[in-house]
Amino acid sequence: MKLLLTLLFLSTSTIFAQSILKGRVVAKNGKPIYLANVYIEGTYDGSTTDSLGNFTFETNERGAKTIKASVVGRPLYSKPIELPYKELLIIQLQGSENRLQEVSIQAGALQANSSGKNTVMSPLDIVTTAGSMGNIISALSTLPGAQVAGENGRLMVHGGDASETQTYINGIRVAQPYTATPNEVPVRGRFSPMLFKGVNFSTGGYSAEFGNALSSILALSTENTIEQPETEVSLSSVGLGLGHTLQWGKNSLTFNSSYTNLKPYSKIITPDIRWTKPYENASGELIYRHQFKKGFLNIYGAYNFENMGLYQSDINYEEPIPLKKKSNNNYANITYSQDLGNRWAFHSGVGIGYLRDKLHYSDIYLPNDEKSLHLKGTIRKTWKNSIKSIWGIEYFDNNYKEEYHRQELAYSYGYHSKMTALFTETTFGLLPNLIGKIGLRGTTSNLQSKKTIEPRASLGYALNKYTQLSLAYGTFHQQAPSSLLKYDPQLGWLAAKHYIANYFYEKSGHLLRLEAYHKTYDNLIKYNSQTAGYDSQYDNNGNGKVKGFDVFYKNTGSVKNLQYWISYSYTDSKRDEANYPHTVTPSYVYKHSLFIVGKYWFTSLRSQLSLTNSIVSGRNYNDPNQTTFMNGHTKGYNNLSMSWSFLYSQQKIIHFSVSNVLGASPIYGYQYADRPNTQDIYDRRPIVPTAKRFVFLGYFWTISKNEKNNQLDNL
């Protein structure tokens, strides 16, 4: 019997003759790879490498087989092998797969996306940043390279003025992205931040897909997914809001409306303003989405009605001047994207805007309207080796009319611009850790005689997993801002060149971004009068130069529940434009600006405290009493804002925020009289914030079947 068993063992062991396979897994540079998974395809035979990269396992397989080795983050290794294999098997793995998304071009790019990587803030950060009051533009101003002028609330980038930034929604231009306000009252962005899943803010060197902006692009995108049904109600110290989402099948419809009236508020907060009609705003947004089998349709519409009246101080008049303004701003945007298969995709869109403003200023009546149309079509292709290309064509039509009425006097002026542009851009991998992007954009317009050709190029180099270096270059053109083009439609293209170098580091909660840039301007607009007007003489003989750098550091989670960022920008801008006699630093530029933003989550109180402190240096102003032009400097100032959000339940939130907690009294600049007084001195009036503080208290309630965990998005 023993013999039988021995025989049995012998026979089985010969039938399943096992051979031993030994080897090593190494990287290209010869370094051993730990925990690589080595196996013979389709069998159980395999092993994991030890810390020296060695593996050994037994196998019963014979003949031609395939050996595989897998490691996270590298392409799967696969090679034919003849078994049994007696020698030591050396497996050399290729470097990380050359995936373009691992290297990105950071120069000039600031992203606020929910995806996480290479992103400086999330959409939620926009609403929870103290001082932003839910305004996208204010939140962006805490980022490097961006400045928002306190007196007008508009976004200015890398030393450029507010007209040099264009706003896009889903790739379609928004001609009028701001709310209307009287002079010296800051405007707001018109769009609710939480409707957008992605905010791509460029500080320069941006893609050839965009044009007609000398400095910057703000590209907002909504998400291509069907929303879940819910209802949102908000009540606040300045108004009320209602939002509702319906969903059926592959469709969703969201509407959002709000009404703001500062009447009960103006008595307490802006006692210095003599309102005749306290600011009133009714606005709404609507999004319809439809998911096709291989396509997605998104219809976005927004309307904004504003009405206000007040007495405004003007140094040229003894008494404050009565001002009345009514504004209707409508915008619609339809985008459709389709997957054409084989990694081809088609995107197209139409944007229509209609703005009608009626302004009464003293005895002047100034109605204007602007009709804008944007058509765009693009084809995208992702090639096999991760090369990506885009081709596109677009058409912009802008029709602007303004009338001037003063007693018997009446005249009208404006422009009708028709612009066509073609563009293409390709991103390709040069090395596993080096990518390049080359783009070209050509534009022709009925107003400007010349065609423009704009080459753009950038490089991104990954030093390691956490660090990237990038460079960007581009030429950019734009038409004169509508505030000047309306007086002289023949004004030629303004031009700029950007040179940007960027360092980006991101590792476990730390993000450091450094950017240095140089920007040159040509053909800036000049005029020969004290203020730009109907009868001024205009030309394109201005120019300018900006150099500067930005530092941004963000930390998440080094201290539990604490997130903070520090952003510093240095801007050295010299321009010869407007009515400047020579090159100077313009009055809208802050040389130094520093933002410190902190958010702390008190778990036991279910509350988030958010603080934003901004320090800016003074700005230039021109004092006509002095012989040197633009020789005045305002004082720098410090502004601390705070907000407190309390999650009462998953669906209910209470939000309180205060701006300028410390009560600083900044002076943005001065308005000087057009003519000297009897002592031959030009009188002046400081331009100061309309309200020292803004205090906001709101209650937000979401009624959802899907039990959202919190409601912070409605702040």
Does position 313 interact with another protein (CB under 8 A)? The reply is no
> What sign has the CA pseudo-torsion 647, 653, 654, 658?
positive
Does position 61 interact with another protein (CB under 8 A)? The reply is no
* Partner residues linked to 67 by β-bridges: 40, 79
Overall residue count recorded for the chain in this entry = 715
In the complex with another protein, which residue's Cβ is closer, 557 or 676?
Answer: 557
**Residues 588 and 149: beta-carbon distance below 8 Å:** yes
Does position 530 interact with another protein (CB under 8 A)? The reply is no
Shortest reach from residue 405's CB to another protein, in Å: 51
Does position 713 interact with another protein (CB under 8 A)? The reply is yes
Does position 13 interact with another protein (CB under 8 A)? The reply is no
In the block, tokens 């405290």 appear at: 609
> What sign has the CA pseudo-torsion 206, 212, 216, 219?
negative
Stretch that binds another protein, among 118-126, 355-363, 434-442, 567-575 (CB under 8 A): 118-126
In the complex with another protein, which residue's Cβ is closer, 267 or 465?
Answer: 465
In 577-636, beta strands by DSSP E = 592-602, 607-616, 620-621, 632-633
Does position 1 interact with another protein (CB under 8 A)? The reply is no
Does position 114 interact with another protein (CB under 8 A)? The reply is yes
Does position 46 interact with another protein (CB under 8 A)? The reply is yes
In the complex with another protein, which residue's Cβ is closer, 76 or 90?
Answer: 76
Sketch the per residue contact string, 71 through 110, with another protein: x for CB under 8 A, - otherwise: -x--------------------------------------
Stretch that binds another protein, among 18-26, 441-449, 581-589, 699-707 (CB under 8 A): 699-707
DSSP label at 318? S
Span 123-152, contacts to another protein by CB under 8 A: 124-125
**Residues 630 and 580: beta-carbon distance below 8 Å:** yes
Does position 505 interact with another protein (CB under 8 A)? The reply is no
Stretch that binds another protein, among 31-39, 446-454, 521-529, 537-545 (CB under 8 A): 31-39
> What sign has the CA pseudo-torsion 56, 59, 65, 71?
negative
Q: Write out the two tokens for 361.
A: 């200023």
In the complex with another protein, which residue's Cβ is closer, 41 or 572?
Answer: 41
Shortest reach from residue 288's CB to another protein, in Å: 20
Does position 579 interact with another protein (CB under 8 A)? The reply is no
* CA gap 379, 348 in Å, rounded: 9
Q: Write out the two tokens for 171.
A: 């790739």
Does position 35 interact with another protein (CB under 8 A)? The reply is yes
From candidates 276, 316, 530, 561, binder to another protein by CB under 8 A? 561
Of residues 612, 599, 586, the one with CA closest to residue 669: 586
* CA gap 62, 59 in Å, rounded: 8
Count, residues near another protein per rule CB under 8 A: 45
Shortest reach from residue 706's CB to another protein, in Å: 4
Does position 11 interact with another protein (CB under 8 A)? The reply is yes
Q: Write out the two tokens for 236.
A: 């606040």
Does position 52 interact with another protein (CB under 8 A)? The reply is no
From candidates 56, 92, 96, 122, binder to another protein by CB under 8 A? 122
Stretch that binds another protein, among 21-29, 83-91, 623-631, 643-651 (CB under 8 A): 643-651
Does position 483 interact with another protein (CB under 8 A)? The reply is no
**Residues 327 and 344: beta-carbon distance below 8 Å:** no
Does position 712 interact with another protein (CB under 8 A)? The reply is yes
Of residues 99, 207, 55, 201, the one with CA closest to residue 142: 201
Residue type (1 letter), 306 = E
In the complex with another protein, which residue's Cβ is closer, 29 or 508?
Answer: 508
In the complex with another protein, which residue's Cβ is closer, 47 or 389?
Answer: 47
Is residue 96 classed as helix, strand or coil in its secondary structure?
Answer: coil
Stretch that binds another protein, among 19-27, 33-41, 359-367, 520-528 (CB under 8 A): 33-41
Span 255-284, contacts to another protein by CB under 8 A: none
Does position 58 interact with another protein (CB under 8 A)? The reply is no
* Long-range contact set of residues 642-646: C-beta below 8 Å, sequence gap at least 24: 642/130, 642/609, 642/610, 642/611, 642/612, 643/128, 643/130, 643/131, 643/609, 643/610, 643/715, 644/607, 644/608, 644/609, 644/610, 645/128, 645/607, 645/608, 645/610, 645/712, 645/715, 646/605, 646/606, 646/607
Does position 39 interact with another protein (CB under 8 A)? The reply is yes
Does position 43 interact with another protein (CB under 8 A)? The reply is yes
* CA gap 328, 155 in Å, rounded: 22
Q: Write out the two tokens for 620.
A: 């230039």
In the block, tokens 């019963």 appear at: 60
From candidates 647, 653, 687, 715, binder to another protein by CB under 8 A? 647
Shortest reach from residue 602's CB to another protein, in Å: 12
Span 206-235, contacts to another protein by CB under 8 A: 228
Is residue 49 classed as helix, strand or coil in its secondary structure?
Answer: coil
Stretch that binds another protein, among 41-49, 252-260, 412-420, 629-637 (CB under 8 A): 41-49
HSE (side-chain half, CA atoms, 13 Å) at 103: 29
Tell me the C-alpha to C-alpha distance, in Å, between residue 298 and each of 169, 246, 351. Answer: 11, 15, 12
Stretch that binds another protein, among 121-129, 260-268, 391-399, 537-545 (CB under 8 A): 121-129
Shortest reach from residue 703's CB to another protein, in Å: 14
Does position 617 interact with another protein (CB under 8 A)? The reply is no
Does position 402 interact with another protein (CB under 8 A)? The reply is no
Does position 30 interact with another protein (CB under 8 A)? The reply is no
From candidates 30, 271, 455, 509, binder to another protein by CB under 8 A? 509
Q: Write out the two tokens for 191.
A: 């769009």
Chain-centre distance for alpha carbon 570 = 20
* Phi, psi (deg, nearest 5) at residue 123: -55, -30
In the complex with another protein, which residue's Cβ is closer, 3 or 64?
Answer: 3
Stretch that binds another protein, among 67-75, 250-258, 473-481, 540-548 (CB under 8 A): 67-75
* Partner residues linked to 288 by β-bridges: 253, 299
From candidates 188, 277, 290, 606, binder to another protein by CB under 8 A? 606
From candidates 70, 313, 338, 520, binder to another protein by CB under 8 A? 70
Strand pairing class (172-174; 198-202): unpaired
From candidates 41, 280, 572, 683, binder to another protein by CB under 8 A? 41
Please compute Rg for the chain using Cα positions.
31
* CA gap 344, 483 in Å, rounded: 41
* CA gap 614, 600 in Å, rounded: 18
From candidates 316, 626, 650, 665, binder to another protein by CB under 8 A? 650
DSSP label at 179? -
Residue type (1 letter), 308 = M
* Helices (H), ranges, 458-594: 482-485
Does position 506 interact with another protein (CB under 8 A)? The reply is no
| Interface positions with another protein (CB under 8 A) | 4, 7-8, 11-12, 15-16, 35, 37, 39, 41-44, 46, 48, 68, 70, 72, 114, 122, 124-125, 228, 508-509, 556-557, 561, 563, 601, 606, 608, 647-650, 704, 706-710, 712-713
